[in-house]
Amino acid sequence: MDRYYAYILLILGVFWLLLSGHYTPLLLSLGGGSVAVVVWFMWRIDRIDGEPFVIHVTLRVIGYSFWLFKEVVKANIDVASRIWDPNMPLAPVWVRLDTTVSTPLEKTTYANSITLTPGTLTTDVEDDHFMVHSLSEEGIEDLRRGEMERRVRKLGI
Amino acid sequence: MAASLEILSWFCFLVGGGLCITGGVGVLRFPDFFTRVHAASVTETLATPLLLIGLMLQLDNWLDLVKALYVLLFVLITGPTAAHALAKGALHHGSKPVLSGDPKLQTGDSESNNREDESSNS
Amino acid sequence: MYTAAVIAILVTMVLSLIRAFMGPTIYDRMLAANVFGTKTVLLIAIGGHALSWTSFLDVALLYAMLNFVGTIAIMRFFEYVDPEEVPSEDLDEASDAGGKS
């Protein structure tokens, strides 16, 4: 747990240094003070909020981001073509999507990935299913094939 | 090298700008709230990164580059959360999505047209 | 080149403003305001670079954060307050100039 706060301290410190760009003693001490205050606030909030979640940025996570970006580009082309089509070929569906992801972090990642992809939108997250709104039946079919879910589970988070 | 970066940056700006307008048109044309969220996510997930990457290729100060990357990551991470909050709020108060086969889809933006008539009468 | 990008962003902002005025529901307006906010971030970033401002990206980053927090705050508010129950004059004043009767 102490390592967790050490990480946060380090990340916030680097974040501050990059944003500031001024390295005089006065500004450095102000920055150090504000980082310390923020970490103290986080420690206080974590006592009430329960376990904090930590995402380790591993090679797998980066690989998943690239795969997700490719999917997002494909979905964007589809939605853009629907927007410019004079007939507007929309067939929106709002259905239950059964899921097998179990940990809260996996659920969050999966639900946010679905929402990030244009054409599909998670409206509700339950224990064993999501409610998903999609612009077309094909979007839902793609999700039901479960490639995204498999990749999220393989992240091991 | 510099010339190819310039061309790549041009390409990003052009495609990004086009997609940006596409999303705006979609937000205006689509028939109900839930379909509009999809149109809005076109501008947020592809147009924004493309425009910001086009900008990053033009920057020569590495601090600015990192800041542009922060902006990009921040927009990408918060986008779905905001969309989810909006959709949940809309459902919570009883807006139901227009589904496939509903006559409203054929007549286009009937709901807001009615609303417009109302307001011009009053 | 910057001009083309800025014009595209401005056109999108106008389109989303039209949606924000048309409504019809409060959620459509919030969605349009959210799109408008994201476009403002881009406008500051690209316009700032084109006009060679200093620290324009800090302003853009701050605006991105405000845009997100604003959307979440308003959605939290309407989670507990039904928009239909707020007297319509209040809503008219608070959120729109041209829509709800």
Residue A25 shares a structural domain with residue A97: no
Contact B17 C38 (CB under 8 A): no
CA angle B82, B88, B93 (to 5 degrees): 130
Is residue A138 within 8 angstroms of chain B, CB to CB? no
In this predicted structure, the answer to whether residue C101 has a pLDDT above a threshold of 60 is no
- Cβ-based contacts of B78 with chain C (< 8 Å): 64, 68
Mean pLDDT of chain C: 80
| Coil/strand/helix, residue C2 | helix
Average pLDDT over residues B81-105: 75
Instruction: Report how many domains make up chain C.
Output: 1
pLDDT at A37: 92
Using CA atoms, how far apart are residues A62 and C98, in angstroms rounded to an integer? 46
Residue length of chain A: 157
Residue A45 and residue A90 in one domain: no
Does A54 fall in a domain?
no
C100, part of any domain: no
Same domain, residue pair A73 and A120: yes
What residues make up the domain containing A38? Answer: 2-49
- What pLDDT band is residue B41 in, cutting at 50, 70 and 90? confident
Say whether C27 and B89 touch across the interface (CB within 8 A).
yes
pLDDT at B121 over 70: no
Give C79 or C17, the one with higher predicted confidence.
C17
* A79 in a structural domain: yes
For the cut 80, the answer to whether the pLDDT of residue B33 exceeds it is yes
In a domain, A101, yes or no: yes
* Option in A84, A117, A123 nearest B88 (CB): A123
pLDDT on residue A61: 83
Cα separation, C45 vs C63, whole angstroms: 10
- Which of C11, C29, C57, C62 best probes binding to B when mutated, by most B CB atoms within 10 angstroms? C57
pLDDT band, residue C88 (cuts 50/70/90)? low
The per-residue pLDDT for range B97-112, each reduced to its tens digit, is: 777 666 655 544 444 4
User: Is residue C48, in this structure, part of any structural domain at all?
Assistant: yes
The SS3 of residue C80 is helix
Does residue A90 share a domain with residue A17? no
ipTM of this predicted complex? Answer: 0.79
Let me know if residue C101 belongs to a domain. no
Q: What is the pLDDT of residue A58?
A: 75
**In whole angstroms, how far apart are CA A103 and each of A9, A97, A100, A148, A156?**
26, 17, 10, 16, 10
A116 with B76: Cβ contact below 8 A? yes
Do the domain assignments include residue A16? yes
Based on the domain organization, do A75 and A19 belong to the same domain?
no
pLDDT tier for residue B82 given thresholds of 50, 70 and 90: confident
pLDDT < 50 stretches in chain A: none
**Cross-chain Cβ contact A83/B87 below 8 Å:** no
Confirm whether A129 is domain-assigned. Answer: yes
In a domain, C60, yes or no: yes
pLDDT band (50, 70, 90) for residue B1: low
pLDDT for the residue numbered B116: 38
When divided into structural domains, chain A yields a total of: 2
Q: Please, what is the average pLDDT of chain B?
A: 78
Q: What is the pLDDT of residues C40-75, one digit of tens each?
A: 999 998 988 888 887 888 888 889 899 889 888 888
Domain with C63, as residue range(s), is 2-95
Q: Residue B115's pLDDT is what?
A: 40
Q: Are C63 and C44 in contact (CB under 8 A)?
A: yes
Asked, for residue A126, whether it belongs to a domain, the answer is yes
Q: Report, as an integer, the average pLDDT of B13-35.
A: 87
* Claim to verify: residue A63 and residue A40 sit in the same structural domain: no
